Structure 1
Amino acid sequence: MKTGRFIFASLIVACFLAAFVPDSLIKTAFNQAEQQTKRMLKDIAAAKNSAGTNVALVSPRTLDKTGALQLVPARDWTSGFFPGELWYLYEYTGQRAWADQARLYTASLEREKLNTGTHDMGFKLYCSYGNGYRLTGDKAYREVIIQGARSLIKRFKPTAGIIRSWDHHKEVWQCPVIIDNMMNLELLFAATRLTGDSTFYKIAVTHAKTTLQNHYRPDHSSYHVVDYDTLTGKVLKKNTHQGYSDESAWARGQAWGLYGYTMCYRETKDPQFLKQAEAIARYMLNHPTMPADLVPYYDFDAPGIPNEPRDVSAAAVMASALYELSTYRSPSPYRDKADQVIGSLAKRYTSPIGQNHGFLLLHSTGSKTSEIDVPLVYADYYFLEALLRSKKLNEKKPLF
């Protein structure tokens, strides 16, 4: 009899671990997201009416120091996340009203397809047009994705083997590449799938391999910025611009790398990318300063831990990446960890309904000097993405 009770208890534990994020939590989170996003849409309209600027403002980014909603123009690197959120709400609910809003906010970014002055084309166009194309098959979206990829590869520097990131601060860096740029490679992989032109694919792989070689330390933590001499390909300097110090591990930078190399493995099946993703995951999850709720401080090496700000955006990116990574190893510890993160975010870091102008999550940190302990639109985007990935895994459906 005792043996039977033990087996039954073990089955309960196993079931709990297999669905740590139950459908009820996902449903509640999306219901809250719908209510918050309806509030956000109203507040965006009000903010646009009172902006008093000649620059067209298209998407929310954060709250300023007074608590006011901060909107950004299409050229801002964060402009594609809110349209992406709307697409995710449509994907979960199937409601036409969300698709209509998603189309409206996506359309405001079309001009960016010709922008060759930024590396952030994936953030802007793949989160918006990429999700839109995946869910609707709209041929116009397909063309924007392809043109955006054509614009992005104009920033490729063959001798160094990288896509240039920033054009600003030329007195500091000759040709800077930031770890965030790994996220924009997904747009290039998509362009090869859509056109059959392997140029985009080859550039993405080259950039990923060069970044793996030069951005990572022996412990598998990443620098934020690596500066290149484009004539020789030589590395000039390595910095961590948005984290605590050059030799520290900026939390969201680690998450960008984890997500980027997991995605690169999906697209190439190159084992070195899977190995790198798993090494980054181990670094983050096993770091001695990682809190028990798996929501990291803004920098793993910030000197004031535990009295340093958290970065919920890093946690959301990490969770989404871990869900995907869990599908490439069996058995895998990664899904349980992702479930823990999502459980923490849903229970401890969400905004009360009707507050914070409709943002979903609180307590993100943009950098060591700005956007500290605020809502950030990309935290919300990757939170919804992670919830959808969790739902698909619960239903034993493929993520892609």
Structure 2
Amino acid sequence: MNRMYYLFLVLALAFLNTGCKSDAKISEEQVAESFNPALEHRFQKLVDYPVGANNFPRSMSLNPEEVYTVPSKDWTSGFFPGNLWLIHELTGDSIYKAKAQAWTVLMEDQKENDKTHDMGFKVYCSFGEGLKQDPDNQYYKDVIVESAKTLITRYNDSVKSIRSWDFNKDVWDFPVIIDNMMNLELLFEATKISGDSIYHNVAVQHANTTLKHQFRPDHSVFHVINYDTISGVVKTKETHQGFDRNSTWARGQGWAIYGYTMCYRYTKDPKYLTQVEATTKFYMEHENLPKDGVPYWDFNDPAIPDAPRDASAAAIVTSALFELYTYTNNKTYLDFATRILNTLNSEAYLLKDTVNGPFILDHSTGNWPKNDEIDEPIVYGDYYFLEALTRKRNLDLK
């Protein structure tokens, strides 16, 4: 690895020597002292993983070691190309860019998939990350706009939201999940690329409807809102992946914090900022948040403190708070995010060098009610961890 690899990567990791000061001057000696060599080994595992259309890594079991892979239609498929793009941004090493490009091309077949709301996760986390590093790439732009055009076909003007899932039609008329906030970034960017305001407008309508109905008085989040397709009224408020309908699913809380921070970026609507700060306060001050800042998979699991953690939720919130800090200058967010990023970037959460799988973090929880992907490496945990590293680095460079 060249000298710039160490410099740019370690700027994001120099917590022990710089504390939380975003304007800190970082010396070459501090860079050398702060570098975490475990990340370099994990990055190599990702770039070595064989490219294949049905081979997108999603998660893995550790005993025995087995990587669970999915095709491009799976909602998690775009994260692995995104991880490679983010590692390229951190390191400047062209080998990661080449692999990111190869994986990203395999996502193009999703641009007309109208059976899913996860277009942002799939296309923007792959093609969108590529466009950030190659802003004149017309191919990437075209795929993003076409994907946005597909996504808005799921919009219902009575509900004023994008439909999330198509399954369980005997139970839900028009389900909207908090996760769907994450797909709005694709729409906002499509308007910037194309000049067509329809994508931006649909994103705002969806965000406003979610804001009105998805939050409890204490600013925690319902996972699923079921709407009537004709009148647009709320029929039920429930969960699908949390402990129960009144519990707070940690990753859902993370989606809300990240989603409304992102919406504020594109709109500067103060009601989004007000909500995200209240929802962040709930998360940061919850009595069941462990001291290391990595939440249990659900804040209300009665098995706490023996419940599984969710490092992916911690990574999502950490990445969001670095951005939220730039809008508020509230150092509490910067301090909290830096502390949690330092925790994730430690022996307690990084996969050991000996693990032969294309992942970085351990201890994420996917779908507890289905006993699926419990306390395992999961690809989206890595994505938001890497994004948090890049955001922290960019703050350090200012």
Q: Could you state the TM-score of these two structures normalised by the residue count of structure 1?
A: 0.89
Say yes or no: does 1:306 pair with 2:305: yes
Shift of 1:63: 1.1
Using the alignment, how far apart are the partners of 1:15 and 1:122 within structure 2? 35
Say yes or no: does 1:63 pair with 2:60: yes
Higher normalized contact order (CA 8 Å, seq sep 6+, divided by chain length): 2
Contact 2:43 2:87 (C-alpha < 8 Å) held by counterparts: no
Corresponding residue SS for 2:171:
coil
Letter in 1 for 2:397: E
Corresponding residue SS for 1:238:
strand
Show the counterpart of 1:155.
Answer: 154
Contact 2:77 2:122 (C-alpha < 8 Å) held by counterparts: yes
Corresponding residue SS for 2:148:
helix
Contact 2:22 2:395 (C-alpha < 8 Å) held by counterparts: no
Show the counterpart of 1:183.
Answer: 182
Using the alignment, how far apart are the partners of 1:275 and 1:332 within structure 2? 17
Deviations 1:338-370 (A, max 9, x none): 001101111120011131513100000012131
Shift of 1:289: 0.2
State the Cα RMSD in Å.
Answer: 2.1
Show the counterpart of 2:395.
Answer: 393
Using the alignment, how far apart are the partners of 1:148 and 1:330 within structure 2? 35
Shift of 1:43: 4.8
Say yes or no: does 1:226 pair with 2:215: no
Corresponding residue SS for 2:176:
strand
Using the alignment, how far apart are the partners of 1:196 and 1:229 within structure 2? 32
Using the alignment, how far apart are the partners of 1:81 and 1:27 within structure 2? 27
Please give the residue correspondences for 1:203-242 in structure 2 after superposition, counting only pairs within 5 Å. 203-242=202-241
Corresponding residue SS for 1:152:
helix
Using the alignment, how far apart are the partners of 2:229 and 2:263 within structure 1? 24
Letter in 2 for 1:126: Y
Contact 1:84 1:381 (C-alpha < 8 Å) held by counterparts: yes
Corresponding residue SS for 1:370:
coil
Match of 2:89 among 73, 85, 91: 91
Match of 2:108 among 107, 110, 116: 110
Show the counterpart of 1:127.
Answer: 125
Please give the residue correspondences for 1:258-337 in structure 2 after superposition, counting only pairs within 5 Å. 258-337=257-336
Shift of 1:335: 0.6
Shift of 1:329: 1.1
Using the alignment, how far apart are the partners of 2:138 and 2:153 within structure 1? 24
Shift of 1:41: 4.5
Gapped regions of structure 1 (runs ≥ 5): 1-12, 49-55
Letter in 2 for 1:67: E
Contact 1:179 1:223 (C-alpha < 8 Å) held by counterparts: yes
Deviations 1:197-222 (A, max 9, x none): 11000100000010011110000000
Corresponding residue SS for 2:58:
strand
Show the counterpart of 2:35.
Answer: 28
Using the alignment, how far apart are the partners of 1:328 and 1:129 within structure 2? 26
Distance 1:73 1:26, change over 3 A: farther
Using the alignment, how far apart are the partners of 2:201 and 2:32 within structure 1? 41
Show the counterpart of 2:145.
Answer: 146
Shift of 1:58: 3.4
Contact 1:35 1:354 (C-alpha < 8 Å) held by counterparts: no
Shift of 1:134: 1.1
Using the alignment, how far apart are the partners of 1:120 and 1:32 within structure 2? 32
Shift of 1:15: 5.6
Letter in 2 for 1:58: N
Identity of aligned residues (%): 46
Corresponding residue SS for 1:355:
coil
Say yes or no: does 1:18 pair with 2:24: no
Contact 1:360 1:380 (C-alpha < 8 Å) held by counterparts: yes
Match of 1:384 among 354, 366, 386: 386
